[in-house]
Amino acid sequence: MVVAERKPIEEILAMVADYRKILLVGCKGCVTVCCAGGTKEVGILASALRIARKKEGKPLEVVEHTLERQCDPEYIEQLAPMLEGDGIEAVVSMACSVGPQYIAKRYVIPVYPALNTTFIGGSLEHGVWAEYCQACGNCIIHHFGGLCPISRCSKSLMNGPCGGSANGKCEVSPEIDCVWHLIYDRMKELGQLDKLRQVFPARDWSTSRDGGPRKIVREDLKL
């Protein structure tokens, strides 16, 4: 899932400093799962903004709404009744960065992001998430026992480990496990250590973000 975290309240207050009425929009997708932008988080942020602005003597009216998703145009369309003639001066999106971009594309109104989109990852324990994928566009984890050296190695080494790892820990980030240590243990467990003799050439990053904004077209799904 896409993992995000809320911006500091001071930063969001600065964004809406000139407005008297805003629409705060949450998302029931990934950011709900990582407790950053669901219905509950919308309520918490709305209350915090109202209280802070009341203390400043500049009351702020916050309209709360949570969409099923903010990464699909049909759901963005549901905001139309609220944004047409309701006096709302700006929109604050509590979704990954796709959400505010979709809202800005559809409506002629200032749109602000309340979250920082961080990575594609998974849950380690309650309240803890870690990066597992950089969305490079060409998955090769089957060569490494199902583990990704691109996202989970601090140096994105394809032929590791480097010379700095020690006791199974990364030299760049000693608090995390060296993924190449994990890969070795995994391949040994699978009886496939011989596969680690394969030398991978310099990676072709044309499928990654380096080639510009990417797009997938499924002709079988198009209407």
Q: What is the pTM of this model?
A: 0.87
pLDDT at 84 (0 to 100): 87
pLDDT at 83 (0 to 100): 94
Mapping DSSP to helix (H, G, I), strand (E, B) and coil, where does residue 192 land? coil
What is the per-residue pLDDT across 95-142, written as a single tens digit (0 to 9) for each? 999 999 999 999 999 999 999 999 999 999 999 999 999 999 999 999
What is the per-residue pLDDT across 57-90, written as a single tens digit (0 to 9) for each? 999 999 999 999 999 999 999 999 999 877 999 9
What is the per-residue pLDDT across 164-216, written as a single tens digit (0 to 9) for each? 999 999 999 999 999 999 999 999 999 999 999 999 998 888 888 777 788 88
What is the per-residue pLDDT across 5-37, written as a single tens digit (0 to 9) for each? 999 999 999 999 999 999 999 999 999 999 999
Mean pLDDT along residues 152-160:
93
Domain ranges for the chain: 2-118, 134-203
Task: Pull the structure tokens for residue 172.
Answer: 């760049």
Distance CA 193, CA 178 (A): 17
Query: Residues of the chain with pLDDT > 70: what percent?
Result: 100
- CB-hemisphere CA count at 13 Å for 17? 7
Distance CA 49, CA 8 (A): 11
* 3-state SS record for 2-47: EEEEECCHHHHHHHCCCCCEEEEEEECCHHHHCCCCCHHHHHHHHH
Q: Report residue 221's pLDDT band, with 50, 70 and 90 as the boundaries.
A: confident
CA-to-CA separations, 11 to 3, 70, 144, in angstroms, rounded: 20, 22, 41
Q: Determine the Cα angle at 80 with ends 37 and 76, to 5°.
A: 45
pLDDT at 204 (0 to 100): 86
Top CATH class, 2-118 = alpha beta
